[in-house]
Structure 1
Amino acid sequence: MSISERSAASVDRPAGGRARWPFLQEPPGLIVYMSLLVLAALFLFGVAFALTAFSPVDLAVFATLVAGAAISVEANRRLATPQHAGLNRDLLGAWWFPVVLLLPPVYSFLIPVPVYLLVQRRLRQTLVYRRVFNTASVGVSGFVVSVAWHWMIAGDFMGGLRGDAGVTEQLTSVPGVLFALAGCAVFTVLNTLIVALAARISTGTKSGLLPLWDREALMVDTVELCVGVIVAALAHISLFLLPIVVPPILLLQRSLLYQQLQTAARTDPKTGLLNAPTWEQEASIEIARSRAARNRSAVLIIDIDHFKRVNDTHGHLFGDQVLMGVATTISHQLRQSDLLGRFGGEEFVVLLPGADVNEAWHAAERLRVEVGCMEIAVEKVQVTVTVSVGLAVAGEHGNDLVELLTAADLALYRAKETGRNRVCLPGGRPEGGTVPDPRETTAAPERPQGIADA
């Protein structure tokens, strides 16, 4: 997963809804955070620009690297990269890392500008202010690493800010290459943390930062680091060698397309969760495995209360934020072995392998409470939503996925009919169990209902 597209995947969402000024519909904390980062980027760019002596050689290197990035963007477009494949990946960092290593730090702010303009116009459009935030994030991350890299060579901080000549010679030594790889890794981590924090503020969750990498993303980032340093070394030797690396980079980019298409076919485009067909397929396999091992498993159907009212009151853009927030909150409360998917509309489904009635009940209650504690800001007002949960357990309410989904759907209907914001079973109290019968007790909301009571 490339740096640029991690930004877009983590922060960008469809610009639907009725909001005339989408920026003002964001949580106030996110607006402040984005604004501070952009202002910091502008300030640091001004300082670096004032100290930098631009040379024709540096400008030629910069133009050549921009041209390489432009070829990669156009190749992505020709490859018909999925627009809604969840976390899209590319190898644009292979052209950005050489800017950090070869040129004065001021160029780290300049390189994402033409690249993102091309991405916005030719590849994938998104809200402009989020694209500006992504540009600032890449610029600040690259600037910090570039200053450290030049500071190490120049021996003084001001020399690091100016980008004194001589740093490129380090790319011909083993210690220099290792330090360059470490610097590019810091670039990747820093940019990811900046964007992950923005995503956390945007969704309004309190469960920590989003997961940053999976095994596939880590592998792609490692390849990107290595290719970026190779491009930098070749550019140091001669700019005429750079055309040699273009075909391998495009071939690597093409190899990423298969994974992206797989992801697009398996995941829901708005939340990044498993879509209904994929969840049903994997849940059926897991239930069959549990039955063969004589283990229990439970199915939850989770429905956001009065979600249509959310869309009608605040617009579909805010509704998308609610879906993302609920999906993130639920995923943070589940075990790694649990299976979470979006069933359609405002419904989510969860498979809890190995859970009996009591364990499933407590897990569902925890999810209900956590979602009720989630706050999303709209027009400076903190809005809360609630969920109703239907619960069914294999062996108690059915033996296969179809029977369990039918029973859980009946339980969800009962939860809606008895007041919402509660967990219900399909029938009465299970024999020998300690779970309260929803016909005898009702779950009191942990927080004011907010929209759900509007």
Structure 2
Amino acid sequence: MLFRPREWALLTQPRAVVGFVVTLVAVDALLAIAGVWTTALRSAELLTAAAIVMSGAICVEAMRRLGLPQGMVRDLLGTWWIPVVLLLPPVYSLIVPIPLYLLMQYRIQRAVVFRRVFSAAVVALAGFSSSTVFHALIPGPIILLDGVTGAAGKSALISGEGIGAAILCAVLFTVCNTVLITGAIRMSVPEEPRRTTVWDSESLLLDAVEVCVGLIVSLLCALSLFLLLVALPPVLLLQRSLLFQQLQTAARTDPKTGLLNAVAWERVAKTELTRALRTGCPLAVLIIDIDHFKKVNDTHGHLVGDQVLLNVATMLSQQLRPYDVIGRFGGEEFVVLLPGADMAEACRTAERLRTQVGRMAQPINDITITVTVSIGVALLRVHGRDLLELMAAADLALYRAKDSGRDRVCLPVATTAGVPVRSVTDPPTDSRGS
């Protein structure tokens, strides 16, 4: 059944998230009831809503055929939300998302039900708010009774004032939608950095494209619904290109942490290593392992363990330079490439990572979890001249750190003429001293 509480999984979320989702859905429901009660239905508006839903359904079906990556996916469905906002009375913005999100749930991907409902509620509330503002600014008729066939008549949208208000309200819709979703993410995962969830350049570009295409579709619909046949193919092509790019990214990304997977990291690392050998620049490799991670899984469950894994990955990423390369090596291990880092810089970086992870308190499901990491460091030309040798040396250094008591940084033991020696900067036990 659709509404079994266990399928919603809402009660496993923080209380703030539960309250936010329930409040949002309740507000949408009350507004929809009031809107249906007070809005007079017009045949032209009903036909326009049906045509937009049909166009959106074709896009959803195209997504199913191409396939979707795991995790958060960007699509161009805003292309169809914006015409609803601008062309139809506000109540339609509360109703039109329902069939399309039901179609996404059953034709594309069975997401957690409360998340799907929340996404629809966010689009509905953002659309209702923006549509209310637009129709207050432009009170004239948007869809004419004869506009469906393209007969004589002029929509209030086809004017300088109408287009200016449309741009304003399309941007307002996008901002409201983004803020509501980001608010839920911040309440669910407080450690998530704001820049990765809101205003990064790629998201801004996609939002701008969505607004522009949505405005073009709105103008075409205001002239005649038959022009949807002209707008649909370019929208499908744009959506296909966007999803294809995301599928390519997903093939390189670890689904639990969002970092590069082992294959993608190795490909990038080999390129950087070749460049370092050619130019003579230093380079270092770190292998990072979460200490006693199995105990976290056994004590609190694998879902909590996955959250700890994500939190550690996020912390590590925040502490590295933009051009450092981090990936998930497997299990609870991470691997980092530090271009341009000599031995002193590599040890300082590794020690900073170890310290920051150890200080991080992770509140998860009303419990606070702290973990430590052990780190092995290897240097190009000192411990090896290819990636395989560096990884083997860093792995040996990691074992030294584990054997020495964990929560420390170690360098490998080098050999000269078969006699074990330590590098001159390698401390007796770890980078903090014994």
Give the TM-score taking structure 1 as reference length. 0.81
Q: Deviations over 1:21-56 (max 9, x none)?
A: 743333344334433443444455455555534433
Choose which of 305, 321, 325 in structure 2 pairs with 1:335: 321
Kept in 2, the 8 Å contact 1:26–1:377? The answer is no
Moved more, 383-392 or 123-132: 383-392
Q: Partner residue of 2:335?
A: 349
For 1:117 and 1:352, locate their aligned partners in 2 and report how far apart those are by CA, in whole Å. 46
Q: Partner residue of 2:173?
A: 187
Q: Which runs of 5+ in 2 are unaligned?
A: 1-5, 145-154, 414-420
Kept in 1, the 8 Å contact 2:256–2:310? The answer is yes
For 2:232 and 2:367, locate their aligned partners in 1 and report how far apart those are by CA, in whole Å. 50
Q: Which runs of 5+ in 1 are unaligned?
A: 1-18, 155-163, 444-454
Asked which structure has the greater CA Rg, the reply is 2
Kept in 1, the 8 Å contact 2:253–2:259? The answer is yes
Aligned 1:19-30 pairs, distance under 5 A: 22-30=9-17
Moved more, 60-69 or 312-321: 312-321
Q: Partner residue of 1:438?
A: 429
For 2:209 and 2:94, locate their aligned partners in 1 and report how far apart those are by CA, in whole Å. 23
Aligned 1:34-433 pairs, distance under 5 A: 34-45=21-32, 48-49=35-36, 51-79=38-66, 81-84=67-70, 87-154=72-139, 165-166=141-142, 169-205=155-191, 207-212=193-198, 217-427=203-413, 430-431=423-424, 433=425
Q: Which amino acid aligns with 2:47?
A: A
Kept in 1, the 8 Å contact 2:45–2:143? The answer is no
- The alignment partner of 1:340 has SS state of strand
For 1:418 and 1:404, locate their aligned partners in 2 and report how far apart those are by CA, in whole Å. 21
- The alignment partner of 2:138 has SS state of helix
Counting matched residue pairs gives: 412
For 1:198 and 1:370, locate their aligned partners in 2 and report how far apart those are by CA, in whole Å. 26
Name the CA shift for 1:440/1:90 in 2 (closer, same or farther; >3 Å): closer
Name the CA shift for 1:402/1:278 in 2 (closer, same or farther; >3 Å): same
For 1:299 and 1:201, locate their aligned partners in 2 and report how far apart those are by CA, in whole Å. 35
For 1:311 and 1:20, locate their aligned partners in 2 and report how far apart those are by CA, in whole Å. 22
Q: Which amino acid aligns with 1:26?
A: Q
Kept in 2, the 8 Å contact 1:415–1:422? The answer is yes
For 2:17 and 2:429, locate their aligned partners in 1 and report how far apart those are by CA, in whole Å. 40
Q: Which amino acid aligns with 1:52?
A: T
For 2:342 and 2:61, locate their aligned partners in 1 and report how far apart those are by CA, in whole Å. 53
- TM-align CA RMSD: 2.9
Kept in 2, the 8 Å contact 1:200–1:210? The answer is no
Higher relative contact order (CA 8 A, sep 6+): 1
Give the TM-score taking structure 2 as reference length. 0.84
Kept in 2, the 8 Å contact 1:330–1:367? The answer is yes
1:94 Cα deviation (Å)?
1.1
- The alignment partner of 1:172 has SS state of coil
1:187 Cα deviation (Å)?
2.3
Kept in 2, the 8 Å contact 1:203–1:322? The answer is no
1:129 Cα deviation (Å)?
1.1
1:207 Cα deviation (Å)?
4.2
Q: Deviations over 1:294-336 (max 9, x none)?
A: 2222212122222223333333333332222222222222221
Moved more, 86-95 or 64-73: 86-95
For 1:24 and 1:245, locate their aligned partners in 2 and report how far apart those are by CA, in whole Å. 42
Name the CA shift for 1:209/1:399 in 2 (closer, same or farther; >3 Å): same
Name the CA shift for 1:314/1:50 in 2 (closer, same or farther; >3 Å): farther
For 2:390 and 2:122, locate their aligned partners in 1 and report how far apart those are by CA, in whole Å. 46
For 2:170 and 2:333, locate their aligned partners in 1 and report how far apart those are by CA, in whole Å. 41
Q: Deviations over 1:275-304 (max 9, x none)?
A: 111111111111221232222222121222
The sequence identity of aligned pairs, in percent, is 51
Kept in 2, the 8 Å contact 1:298–1:360? The answer is yes
- The alignment partner of 2:368 has SS state of strand
Name the CA shift for 1:75/1:344 in 2 (closer, same or farther; >3 Å): same
For 1:375 and 1:113, locate their aligned partners in 2 and report how far apart those are by CA, in whole Å. 40
Name the CA shift for 1:239/1:412 in 2 (closer, same or farther; >3 Å): same
